[in-house]
Amino acid sequence: MWPLYAAGFTTAFGAHGIAANLGGLSEDAVTSLLVLGGLLALYDGAEVLLKPLFGTLADRIGAKPVLLGGLIAFAAASALYATADSPGWLWAARLGQGASASAFSPSASALVARLNPAAKHGRAFGSYGFYKSIGYTLGPLLGGVLAWAGGLQLLFAVMAVLGAAVAAWAAFAVPHLPPLPRNRQTVLDLARRLTSRSFLAPTAALAGATAALSVGVGFLPVSGAAAGLGTVATGAAVSVLAACAAVVQPAAGRALDAGRITTRMGLAVGLLVTTAGLGCAMLPGLLGVLTGAALIGAGTGLITPLGFAALAASTPEDRLGQTMGSAELGRELGDAGGPLLVAAVATFTTLTYGFAALAVILAIGPVITLAAHRRAATVQ
C-alpha cells in the first residue's frame, strides 16, 4: 500500500507544487494572466479527458502496468522541462504531467480497492486520501522553496526524480493483479451503471467536496485580505483547511469499517459540515476565515474516503478502474466548476453571495437524504 500512498502524494504534489509557482517564477513563459490560466488548465484539462479512458484500460490490461506507465511518463514529462528550459517545452511538460497523472491516479485508486477486503475499504481510502492531502498541503510550500533555490527547472527535476522513485518502488512492492474476466458490456450497460444512484450519489458528493475545497483554497485568502488580514494569516487559514481534511480522512475510514457510520448518512453529514463551513466563510474577519477553513476541511475529509468506499462497494471488481476514472472526472468538474460559480456570482454581487450560492447547491443533497430518512422512519 505504501507505494500507492506515494503515488497519491505525487499527483497532488505535482498539481499544486508547480501551479503555485508558475506565475511568479517563469516570466519568460507566463507573459499574461491568460497564458497562466492556460498553463493551469492544461493539467486539469488532460485529467478530465483522459481519466475515464485510462481507468478502462486498467481494467483491460491490469492496474499495475497502467500505474507504472503513468509514473514513468510523469517522470519523463517533468525531466523534459528540467533539461530543455524553454517556454514551449513548459507547455509540453505540463500537458504530459496531466496526461500521466490521468493514468496512475485512477489505477492507484483501483489497486487500493482490490488489495483490501471490503471491510477495510474505509481505512484504506482514508489513508490514501490522507497522503494526497499532505501532497496538496506541502506542494505550494516545498515547491516554493525548490523554485526559490533553483528555479522551475529544479522543481521539475525533483518531480522527475519523485516520479521515477515511486515507479521503481511500486514495481517491486505492489503485487501484480491480473485483469479479472470481464463480462460483455454494451454502451447501454455503461450508461445504466454510470447513471445509477449508487454511482451518482457518491460521485456528486465527491464533486461537491472538491468544489468547496478549491473555493476555500482560492477565495478564503481573498476574503481575508479584504478584511485586512496579512498573508501569514490567510496562508495559515489554507493550511488549517488542508490539515483538517488530512486528519479527518483516516478517522472517517476507520469509523466506516467499524460500522459506526454508514456511507449514506456520512456523506450527508459531510456535505452539511462543508455547507456550514461556506456559511462561516461569509462572516467577516479572522474568525470567519478560520472557522470556514476548518469546517470545509473537516467536511471534505469526511466525504472523500466514504465516497470512494461506496463506489468500490457498488462496482464489480472487473470495472473498478472504469468507475474510479469516471468518478475522478466528476471530481475534476467540481474542482473547476466550484471556483467558476463563486467567481461568477461574486462578479455581479460580492464574494459573500458567491459562498452562499455554492452552500445552497451543496445543501440540496443532504436535505433530500435526511428528509427521505425521516419519512422512512415515520412509515416504519
pLDDT of residue 145: 82
The predicted-structure confidence for 331-369, as pLDDT tens digits, reads as follows 878 887 888 888 888 888 888 999 999 999 999 888 777
Give the Cα separation of 90 and 32 in Å (integer).
Answer: 15
pLDDT of residue 194: 64
- Which residues make Cβ contacts (< 8 Å) with residue 172, sequence separation at least 6? none
Indicate the average pLDDT of the chain: 83
Checking if the pLDDT of 26 tops 60, the result is no
Torsion of CA 49, 309, 247, 354, to 10 degrees: 50
pLDDT of residue 303: 94
Percent of the chain predicted with pLDDT > 70: 86
- Number of alpha carbons in the 13 Å side-chain half-sphere of residue 77: 21
More confident: 378 or 151: 151
The predicted-structure confidence for 87-105, as pLDDT tens digits, reads as follows 778 888 888 998 998 888 8
pTM of the model: 0.76
Q: How far is CA 85 from CA 79, 89, 229, 239, in A?
A: 10, 7, 37, 31
The predicted-structure confidence for 155-165, as pLDDT tens digits, reads as follows 899 999 999 99
Give the Cα separation of 143 and 13 in Å (integer).
Answer: 8
Phi/psi class of residue 62: alpha, beta or left (left: φ > 0; alpha: ψ in -120 to 50)? left
pLDDT of residue 70: 94
More confident: 264 or 336: 264
